[in-house]
Chains A and B, each alone.
Chain A
Amino acid sequence: MAAQRLIDAAKAAGITAIMGFALIGLELIDQPGGETLASRWQTLAAAVAIVFLGCLALSAIPAIRVRPLHRASPIFASAGRALPWTLVAFALLLPALPIANRGVIDAATEILIYVMLGWGLNIVTGLAGLLDLGYVAFFAIGAYTYAILATQIGLSFWACVPIAAAMASAAGLLIGFPVLRLRGDYFAIVTLGFGQIVRIVINNWRSLTNGSQGIAGVPRPSFFGLADFTASPTSGHRTFHELFGIAYSPMQRVIFLYYVALALALAVNLFTLRIRRLPIGHAWEALREDEIACQALGIDRRRVKLAAFAIGAAWGGVAGALFPAKQQGFVSPESFGFMESAMITAIVVLGGMGSQLGIVLAALILVGLPELFREFEQYRMLAFGLSMILIMRFRPRGLVSTRRPSVVLE
């Protein structure tokens, strides 16, 4: 018994040695003329030893039972009703809390934007079950719509939000129409391609988007059109602190942006909660469960999918309009790459498909934690990738796997 375990561990260690020989045991050193090699045999030996000991340890522990997929975790089931309200209260009060400095509020705003994106993608992926890997494209379209309209024509943020939503939605219809009849895997890859195309176009259409240099000086949202958040008034505008008779502070703008993000996020949430109860929402979830049965019940799959895609895209556009303001008035194609798309998808899938709460938790973990552990910045993406693998392995239905029914019979 023990001998077998030793042999298995040795085999694993041996394989690790060969696998790691080139990539771990040797290291490419960048020199002006080319590359040279340095050896790192200690590191390789350490890796092999870890694998060997790890295998022995794992085989000594009795097999890990994977919890049945349909049973919910007791923690989340009981927290159920209290948790969402607690989070909302916390979010509303955050700027008043003692820990709230500029960095914290900024991070919170970023998390809110990701939550908004997650909730928007949730309509497409969580409810309707369409794995859209290119959702970030709608985010980009929203951001650039606002940036271009604001810098070129001088439209205000509040006027641009619906326009950004409309543009993103139009893109969703355009790309959705030919693509929505594709099977799951193919659909995912094609949407991924679309996301990349949008980024490449933004990068290269210099006359419109200023290419890879991005657009700077995008104005921040004003106080509902009444006042700006500047220290001294710009032509013809009042300033916020004058309007309210208080001293100027740069924090005012930051906090206002935070609350705008919070308000928009709550809007998506309310929208989703309401639409789940409507026939279109039911159709989306039914589509996710069994498309064939939907067809037999008279549901036009194409149209229903298109609606999910377009509506989800619209919310992505809204989140996008918010983005340049959060980024000190700057937007560039770099922010809309594959990693961002993967991140948003991960938030939705890891959170638990269709679960609003799960998405918030996932966003807090995936976006919030790295903010806390800034020293480990370089390991952030690695941890991200590994966590995706691990969660799919042990909790494929995500963190919050219960589904609350949208209509109940008394």
Chain B
Amino acid sequence: MTTTTPSSLPDRKPSSNPFLKIITKIPWTWVITFTYLAFLLILPIIALLIKAASEPLDSFWKTATSPIAISSYEITFVTAFAAAAINGIFGTLIAWVIVRYNFFGKRFLEAVVDLPFALPTAVAGLTLATVYSNNGWVGSLLAPLGIKIAFSRIGVFVAMTFISLPFIVRTVQPVLTDLEKELEEAAWSLGASQIQTFTKVILPPLTPSILTGIALGFSRAVGEYGSTVIIASNTPFRDLITPVLIFQRLEQYDYVGATVIGVVMLVISFVSLLAINLLQAWSKKYG
């Protein structure tokens, strides 16, 4: 499991290129970079993996696939995907509006989209729990309809939607900016309808970046803890997400349980990172 050892990282390549030689005369940038990464990033990851590897495989598997863990994966991943997907639609729409139209409040809209990057997640959780509680601004409108948002799985969805929105907008926006308007105009002048222009001309080059944005938002939502722990009731099998499960295991001093589920999360982070890189490589082909 532990293929990335710190010692295999330094690639201080002696360059034959004379001007690179001048610049690589500052080796301490490498020293700082690799020491920092080794101690603060790689070492902790290795500690987690080794701790998990010391667990016999069958009991590892048993802990990783216990009913409560499985239900937490389902709640986390399905909800995160739903949140990222709905933002995939509305985030693309917002990016389109920002790039293509001029209107009053455009700069405001653009700045506000980044709010989830700037607002601490605990504050997001607090205010969402208030607004969507049964006597909150939005919650009180939905409560008579029998829809309960705060302290339920829908609350988790709302929090995940909040934190993942900017990822989609910010990923699609630059690609949309680079998209040549002439192509659309050409399609129109050739008699394509607006819907045809959208599905045949605009959407194909945007698809990789929309998917990248969804993957980034998904990966953020899956790992989210602060806002979700506050808005959810954290009841097993109902709205208990995996990060909260890890936290609860730690609180009970069940380090093995926390580690095993932590490794599952870590592996999923790596897989999403790989998927995001592949998607980005794909979108570069269009660029």
Is this pair of chains taken from one and the same complex?
A: no
